[in-house]
Amino acid sequence: MYNKFVLKVKKICPAPGYILDIGCGVGHDLRYFQECGWKVYGIDNNAGKIEKAKTSCGVNGVQVGDILQLPFRNEFFNVVYCRNVLHYLKIEEIPVAINESLRVLKKNGYLFFMFFSTKDKARHGNTLFLSEQEVDGYFGNWTLIEKAEVSVEESHGGSGLHEHTFWQVIGKK
Ligand SMILES: C[S@@+](CC[C@H](N)C(=O)[O-])C[C@H]1O[C@@H](n2cnc3c(N)ncnc32)[C@H](O)[C@@H]1O
């Protein structure tokens, strides 16, 4: 089953067009977007995951890259999508990542970001958790379409089902 965040893209900004998935991992969401009719592009800084995205998920247009320096020209994409990646950055890198995302987005294009909230119950490690005040500060430069705090039950790493709380922020350039 697809995660609910991809369905928001379908609802708010349906295909066709050019979509970039930043931190695409093994490409599950890109495969969905490809099936929806998008021309898909993805980057991830993990070369093994990019290889899997090509071989297991059958998505082309993926390459190794860093959110802090996107290998694309200005104003190329209709949608920039970034799920569960921002919280792996250092706090001072967040504005750089957001500015890069805006740079490669066309005017009137849409940004979809999902990342951990400070309300997350399973907080761990060096991961970043952002408060509402921080979200308002970092995402203040564009037209906000939706800002929601959502709780999702997940199972990964063999630790059974546990609840995570995320911000889902959707904006328009
Ligand atoms: C939790 S996974 C999420 C994968 C996918 N977006 C999803 O929702 O299933 C985080 C991904 O972000 C990638 N990543 C972490 N830091 C990154 C960076 N600075 N630039 C690009 N990708 C990064 C990791 O390699 C990993 O594949």
Please give the pLDDT value at position 102.
96
* Predicted confidence band of residue 126 (pLDDT cuts 50, 70, 90): confident
pTM: 0.95
CA–centroid distance, residue 105 to ligand 1 (Å): 19
Ligand 1 pocket residue status of 109, Cβ below 6 Å: no
- Pocket probe for ligand 1: among 45, 90, 128, the residue whose CB has the most ligand atoms within 8 Å is 45
The b/e string for 62-96 (b: 16+ C-beta within 10 A; e otherwise) is beebebeebebeeebbbbbbbbbbbbbbeeebbee
pLDDT tens-digit profile of 7-53? 999 999 999 999 999 999 999 999 999 999 999 999 999 999 999 99
pLDDT tens-digit profile of 85-125? 999 999 999 999 999 999 999 999 999 999 999 998 777 77
CA–centroid distance, residue 22 to ligand 1 (Å): 7
For the chain, helix (H) and strand (E) counts, in that order, are 5, 7
Cα 86 from Cα 97, distance rounded (Å): 8
CA–centroid distance, residue 66 to ligand 1 (Å): 9
Cα 75 from Cα 41, distance rounded (Å): 14
Give the residue extent of every domain in the chain.
Answer: 4-172
CA atoms within 13 A on the CB side of 87: 23
Is residue 149 within 8 A of residue 117, CB to CB? The reply is yes
Please give the pLDDT value at position 157.
63
- Pocket probe for ligand 1: among 3, 9, 44, the residue whose CB has the most ligand atoms within 8 Å is 44
Instruction: Name the CATH superfamily housing domain 4-172.
Output: Vaccinia Virus protein VP39 (3.40.50.150)
pLDDT tens-digit profile of 60-84? 899 999 999 999 999 999 999 999 9
For the chain, give the percent of residues with pLDDT over 90: 82
CA–centroid distance, residue 132 to ligand 1 (Å): 22
Cα 139 from Cα 101, distance rounded (Å): 12
Ligand 1 pocket residue status of 46, Cβ below 6 Å: yes
Average pLDDT on 51-58 reads 93
Please give the pLDDT value at position 137.
94
Is residue 107 within 8 A of residue 137, CB to CB? The reply is no
